[in-house]
């Protein structure tokens, strides 16, 4: 449920039905997000429950902790922080070189390294699509 202050708020479910027999379940609290006091989930594929609310709340939590990259499987979502972050250093490049895609926190360097290694080692064509609003920081 939308909230101007935090983006989302807790709801209460008074007439929920269980999935087995369709009988009313006990009164329960349904949280829009299970990510309170967390940085968030690095790969949306692992997000439970997956809903529009939890998706957006996860992105917000990660952004609030300067985690501007989030995966959806092998897709990378990037949010422009509109300020410099110390995440584009030569040391960071080396940190992601030859590492498993999911071994470290989501980063564009992981995607670039994975594409390069697939091209080099498996001779597989690669395609990286970058899309976003004008002025959003794609360059």
Instruction: Report d(CA 110, CA 103) in Å as an integer.
Output: 9
Is 134 annotated as ligand-binding? Answer: yes
Is 67 annotated as ligand-binding? Answer: no
Q: Check residue 38 and report its DSSP letter.
A: S
Is 132 annotated as ligand-binding? Answer: yes
Is 138 annotated as ligand-binding? Answer: yes
Is 139 annotated as ligand-binding? Answer: yes
Would you say how long the chain is, in residues?
139
User: By C-alpha distance, which of 60, 59, 61, 68 is closest to 87?
Assistant: 68
Is 135 annotated as ligand-binding? Answer: yes
Instruction: Report d(CA 96, CA 106) in Å as an integer.
Output: 10
Contacts of 31 (CB under 8 A, 6+ apart): 10, 11
Question: Which parts are annotated binding residues?
Answer: 132-139
Question: Which parts are annotated binding residues for ATP?
Answer: 132-139
């Amino acid at each position: 449920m939308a909230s101007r202050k935090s983006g989302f708020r807790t709801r209460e479910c008074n007439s929920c039905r269980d999935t087995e027999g369709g009988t009313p379940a006990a009164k329960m609290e349904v949280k829009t997000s299970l990510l309170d006091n967390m940085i968030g989930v690095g790969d949306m594929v692992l997000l439970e429950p997956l809903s529009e609310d939890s998706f957006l709340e996860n992105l917000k939590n990660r952004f609030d902790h300067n985690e501007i990259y989030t995966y959806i499987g092998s897709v990378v979502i990037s949010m422009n922080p509109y300020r410099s972050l110390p995440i584009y250093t030569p040391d960071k490049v080396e940190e992601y070189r030859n590492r498993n895609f999911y071994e470290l926190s989501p980063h564009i360097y992981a995607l670039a390294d994975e594409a390069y290694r697939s091209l080099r080692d498996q001779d597989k064509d690669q395609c990286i699509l970058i899309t976003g609003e004008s002025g959003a920081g794609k360059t």
